[in-house]
Chains A and B, each alone.
Chain A
């Protein structure tokens, strides 16, 4: 158990809808990262937050947004969903710098029908 929790584990929704994925980092970790893993795109880094502020951005679509709250949990919001957004979304946390070891959550599997 990495200590990172993600909810929900599975999510099934329809095209055009909006969903929110939640991540709780390991106790004491200030950085949260979001990743998308799909058959088409492979594993992609989406975005990182550090202590509530956006730190780095990867291949995140404009339809997606994230935030990190004062209690350090993070949410990834996906809107106007398309079939191609179906993927496994991972959250990871680390103690500080971007280059530190990251601890991954179990992922949320999103299916868009």
Chain B
């Protein structure tokens, strides 16, 4: 069965610190997608990134970067020089692309960035 684990329930950092949010997934599938979403206090969900299981290249987008390692089944998200506006709940998700459709979310990590 597929599973997504975000072990960090809540993280607090001081502004300008770097922070890494962990995501570990379980699957026997060879093809799948992984996602990160942001849910700020206003409540809406915002797509951040999608990564295909065949593409292990790390990605950087501004202050955001993602480290995908199939060997450890992890897809971690790092925010560099955090800002107060980064305060939100971040969800990691797994999408199965073969067989029965499964789209599974982790329980989320609440990030608080303090000024």
A binding-site residues for B, Cβ under 8 Å: 2, 35, 42-45, 48, 56-58, 88, 90, 92, 98-107
Q: How many residues of B contact A (CB 8 A)?
A: 18
Total cross-chain contacts (CB, 8 A): 44
Look across to chain A and name the residue whose beta carbon is closest to the beta carbon of B33. Answer: A99
Q: Interface on chain B toward A: helix, strand, loop, or mixed SS?
A: strand
Assembled-state Cα–Cα distance A98/B103 (Å) = 10
Out of A45, A100, A104, name the residue touching B103 (CB < 8 Å): A45
Which B32-76 residues sit within 8 Å CB-CB of chain A?
33, 43-47, 50, 52
Is the Cβ of A44 less than 8 Å from the Cβ of B45?
A: no
Is the Cβ of A106 less than 8 Å from the Cβ of B43?
A: yes
Is the Cβ of B43 less than 8 Å from the Cβ of A44?
A: no
Is the Cβ of A99 less than 8 Å from the Cβ of B101?
A: no
Q: How far apart are A90's CB and chain B's nearest CB, in angstroms?
A: 6
Look across to chain B and name the residue whose beta carbon is closest to the beta carbon of A104. Answer: B45
Assembled-state Cα–Cα distance A17/B99 (Å) = 35
CB-defined contacts of A92 to chain B, threshold 8 Å:
45
Look across to chain A and name the residue whose beta carbon is closest to the beta carbon of B105. Answer: A43
Out of B45, B46, B95, B108, name the residue touching A99 (CB < 8 Å): B95
CB-defined contacts of A90 to chain B, threshold 8 Å:
45
Is the Cβ of A98 less than 8 Å from the Cβ of B45?
A: no
Of the A-B pairs whose beta carbons lie under 8 Å apart in the complex, a sample of 16, sorted by A's number, is A43-B105, A43-B108, A44-B105, A45-B104, A48-B101, A56-B101, A58-B102, A92-B45, A98-B95, A98-B101, A99-B50, A100-B50, A101-B50, A104-B47, A106-B43, A106-B44
Which B82-115 residues sit within 8 Å CB-CB of chain A?
91, 95, 97, 101-105, 107-108
Assembled-state Cα–Cα distance A98/B44 (Å) = 20
Assembled-state Cα–Cα distance A100/B95 (Å) = 11
CB-defined contacts of A106 to chain B, threshold 8 Å:
43-44
CB-defined contacts of B43 to chain A, threshold 8 Å:
88, 106-107
Assembled-state Cα–Cα distance A31/B104 (Å) = 18
Look across to chain B and name the residue whose beta carbon is closest to the beta carbon of A101. Answer: B47
Is the Cβ of A103 less than 8 Å from the Cβ of B105?
A: no
Assembled-state Cα–Cα distance A102/B35 (Å) = 11
